[in-house]
Amino acid sequence: MKFKILFLVFSLWTAIPLSSQVLFPSPQIYSLEKGIFNITTATKIKGNSTYAIQLADKLSGQLRGLSASDSSHNIILLKLLSNSTSNTGEGYSLDVKGDTVLLEATSEAGLFYAKEALLQLACFGKGKIRYCHIQDTPRYQWRGFMLDESRHFFGKEKVKQYLDIMASLRLNVFHWHLTDEPGWRIEIKKYPKLTQIGAIGNWHDPKAAPKFYTQEDIKEIVAYATERHIMIIPEIDMPGHATAACKAYPEYSSGGEGRWKDFAFNPGNIKTYQFISDVLDEVAQLFPSPYIHIGGDEVHYGNQSWYTDTEIQDFIKKQGLTDEKELEYYFLRQVASIVSSKGKTMIGWDEIVDAGIAPDKAVVMWWRHDKESQLVKALEQGYRVILTPRRPMYADFIQFASHKVGRQWNGYNTIENVYNFPTLIMHLTKGYESQILGMQMSLWTERVADEKRLDFMTFPRLIALSEAAWVFEKNKECSLFMQHLPVFLKYLDSLGVYYFNPLDPKSIEEPQSPEKEDVIQNG
Ligand code: TNX
């Protein structure tokens, strides 16, 4: 009670509800002091270098709607510290005192994050910011979100909105799953049928009008992301999950029958590797990122024809491979060298750990939460690893007990589970911390046919992801995060984003999916 009264007095005194002076993700060092800085139309916003000036101009535009008309003079100063040895690290400091807001960093990314932090404070406090001192730096360098646009396509505007929110949350990797069974979503000039034929259909409707990104669209989105310090990792899934490509170019398909027809490329045809090389050439040109994700997952689902096709069987013998599994690994090694011939590093799902690729030539995404040994093996072999285990990092899992649409596997993925990651698996990575690049939340979209469901599955768990990836273990406090959450939810309201509210679960209707079998258990 006493505390409550004190809190009330304090809040009245500051004239800004304390609850609004929060940040997502929460900073490492954050102290509040007495006094308020008012952003007004007379506030000067300045930078000390080309990049800082550019950012200052951007900030002026973004603050316009929040500025009170007032003539009192104060200044927001963005400083890129030039005495730093290099443009590395993503840390920043933010000081609000007297008539000055000072943002400082030794890298462009750091200064950008200082600006994003200030923008959150300004936005949550409606142009009023409490005096404070913030010193911040992230725990992990890879803070990612994956979106599957093959199963369902959402388009440029939605992707840009997500990139904006990611930037605000200081997430810095957008993993773009662009190809899979139902659709190929990226224009490749040398192989026009990939989109003329491969882009037709989606998970629910094989005849849906073609949807894909032109190379111009891709360039536009890459530029948009780069400006926000987000790296885009394209994924071209192979040799499995390649149905859309195999339908467009059956000469590179391993054929097959029934449900899994055309699921996998033909690894016994040397022309397949030329095709892949040509495709990856264009992909490598379009994306400045040093990585290309080549999938590599779940080949066994649809490679039955490898066991009977005479051309493939002959190839296995000729190459001196022992069996079809070895053929899969042979394929992955070939692709690793194709990727590296283009000056890029391959990323693959955790199946690639067994393929015999040199550990410095590939990065592993651990996804099979039920196979902890695969994570350990990857680390022991010296691979760099990104953590995105189905539990709790798959956003196609339901997030509340009564939800009906989505996956479950001995439970589901609550916002608290995401926030608390990776605490429960840290014993597995002990001693290998330097090989853990970071983590990612992955959204598969078999049961996400529209934007409303997309938002509902992504938010608010994406906010928890940013905390998990940014905040050091010793500073994490889930109950406090949950207490602060409404502030960001309000911001999502202003963007028109449809989210689940874990604080009032029944208030939000769960959007449905056209899929008949909606709850998928353990598989
Ligand atoms: C497994 S994760 C897949 C995806 C599915 C997802 C559904 C991975 C590497 N492969 O193809 O969409 O499960 O949760």
396 close to ligand 1 (CB < 6 Angstrom): yes
Which range is least confidently modeled, 80-89, 148-157, 295-304, 397-406? 80-89
CA angle 492, 144, 362 (to 5 degrees): 170
DSSP string, 375-430: HHHHHHHT-EEEE--HHHHBTTB-SSTT--SEEESSS---HHHHHHTTGGGHHHHT
How far apart are the CA of 295 and the centre of ligand 1, in A? Answer: 10
For residue 148, the ligand 1 atom closest to its alpha carbon is 12
How far apart are the CA of 332 and the centre of ligand 1, in A? Answer: 18
Residues contacting residue 22 through CB under 8 Å, at least 6 positions apart: 124, 484, 487
- Residue 237 has which token pair? 């899934």
Query: Taking 60 as the threshold, does the pLDDT of residue 307 lie above it?
Result: yes
Query: Taking 50 as the threshold, does the pLDDT of residue 79 lie above it?
Result: yes
Query: Taking 60 as the threshold, does the pLDDT of residue 16 lie above it?
Result: no
Q: So what's the pLDDT on residue 408?
A: 96
What's this model's pTM, rounded to 2 decimal places? 0.95
The mean predicted confidence, pLDDT, of the chain is 94
Q: So what's the pLDDT on residue 12?
A: 44
More confident position, 72 or 231: 231
203 close to ligand 1 (CB < 6 Angstrom): no
More confident position, 501 or 82: 501
| Contact indicator for 367, 442 with CB cutoff of 8 Å | yes
On the CB side of 372, how many CA atoms lie within 13 Å of its CA? 8
| Contact indicator for 374, 395 with CB cutoff of 8 Å | no
Residues 418-435: what's their mean pLDDT? 97
On the CB side of 399, how many CA atoms lie within 13 Å of its CA? 32
Interval 385-402: pLDDT, tens: 999 999 999 999 999 999
Which range is least confidently modeled, 204-218, 276-290, 309-323, 507-521? 507-521
| Contact indicator for 132, 95 with CB cutoff of 8 Å | yes
Q: What is the three-state SS of 46-59?
A: EECCHHHHHHHHHH
For residues 520 and 523, give the distance between their C-alpha atoms in angstroms, rounded to a whole number: 7
Which residue owns the Cα nearest ligand 1 atom 8? 297
Q: Compute the CA torsion angle 368, 374, 376, 381 (nearest 10 deg).
A: -140
CA R_g for the chain: 24
Residues 112-119: what's their mean pLDDT? 98
Nearest to 499, CA basis, from 472, 465, 445, 463: 463
| Contact indicator for 75, 101 with CB cutoff of 8 Å | yes
Query: Taking 80 as the threshold, does the pLDDT of residue 517 lie above it?
Result: no
Q: So what's the pLDDT on residue 269?
A: 97
Q: How far is CA 73 from CA 44, 46, 76, 261, in A?
A: 8, 13, 10, 69
| Contact indicator for 255, 307 with CB cutoff of 8 Å | no
407 close to ligand 1 (CB < 6 Angstrom): yes
Q: So what's the pLDDT on residue 282?
A: 98
Query: Taking 90 as the threshold, does the pLDDT of residue 427 lie above it?
Result: yes
Mutate to test the pocket of ligand 1, among 297, 397, 457 (most ligand atoms within 8 A of CB): 297
Which residue owns the Cα nearest ligand 1 atom 4? 444
Q: So what's the pLDDT on residue 82?
A: 77
Q: Measured between alpha carbons, how far apart are the two ends of the chain, in Å? A: 50
Mutate to test the pocket of ligand 1, among 151, 444, 515 (most ligand atoms within 8 A of CB): 444
Q: So what's the pLDDT on residue 194?
A: 98
349 close to ligand 1 (CB < 6 Angstrom): yes
More confident position, 520 or 381: 381
Q: Which helix (H) or strand (E) holds 231?
A: strand 231-238
pLDDT tier at 67, thresholds 50, 70, 90: confident
Which residue owns the Cα nearest ligand 1 atom 7? 444
How far apart are the CA of 504 and the centre of ligand 1, in A? Answer: 30
Active site residue 241: yes
Residues 258-279: what's their mean pLDDT? 97
145 close to ligand 1 (CB < 6 Angstrom): no
| Contact indicator for 257, 238 with CB cutoff of 8 Å | no
How far apart are the CA of 468 and the centre of ligand 1, in A? Answer: 22
Query: Taking 70 as the threshold, does the pLDDT of residue 383 lie above it?
Result: yes
| Contact indicator for 144, 439 with CB cutoff of 8 Å | yes
Q: So what's the pLDDT on residue 8?
A: 43
- Residue 351 has which token pair? 């199946």
Which range is least confidently modeled, 16-30, 81-95, 434-448? 81-95
Which residue owns the Cα nearest ligand 1 atom 5? 444
Residues 17-34: what's their mean pLDDT? 87
For residues 277 and 33, give the distance between their C-alpha atoms in angstroms, rounded to a whole number: 58
Q: How far is CA 407 from CA 158, 159, 419, 448, in A?
A: 23, 23, 19, 12
Which range is least confidently modeled, 87-91, 299-303, 474-478? 87-91
Residues 324-331: what's their mean pLDDT? 98
How many other C-beta atoms can be found within 10 angstroms of the C-beta atom of residue 265? 25
How many other C-beta atoms can be found within 10 angstroms of the C-beta atom of residue 509? 10
DSSP string, 112-176: HHHHHHHHHHHHHTTTEEEEEEEEE--S-SEEEEEEE-SSS---HHHHHHHHHHHHHTT--EEEE
How far apart are the CA of 48 and the centre of ligand 1, in A? Answer: 46
Interval 88-108: pLDDT, tens: 689 999 999 999 999 999 999
Residues 220-242: what's their mean pLDDT? 98
Q: Which helix (H) or strand (E) holds 236?
A: strand 231-238
Interval 277-289: pLDDT, tens: 999 999 999 999 9
| Ramachandran area for residue 516 (φ above 0: left; ψ -120 to 50: alpha; else beta) | alpha
Residues 394-418: what's their mean pLDDT? 96
pLDDT tier at 6, thresholds 50, 70, 90: very low
Residues 308-335: what's their mean pLDDT? 97
Query: Taking 60 as the threshold, does the pLDDT of residue 81 lie above it?
Result: yes
How far apart are the CA of 517 and the centre of ligand 1, in A? Answer: 16
Which residue owns the Cα nearest ligand 1 atom 10? 297
Q: How far is CA 316 from CA 31, 290, 304, 366, in A?
A: 64, 32, 15, 28
Active site residue 396: no
Active site residue 180: yes
Residues 166-188: what's their mean pLDDT? 98
- Residue 90 has which token pair? 């993503």
Identified catalytic residue from 241, 293, 369, 484: 241
For residue 397, the ligand 1 atom closest to its alpha carbon is 14
| Contact indicator for 116, 167 with CB cutoff of 8 Å | yes
Q: What is the DSSP letter of 229?
A: T
Q: Which residues pair with 474 in a beta bridge?
A: none
For residues 458 and 481, give the distance between their C-alpha atoms in angstroms, rounded to a whole number: 17
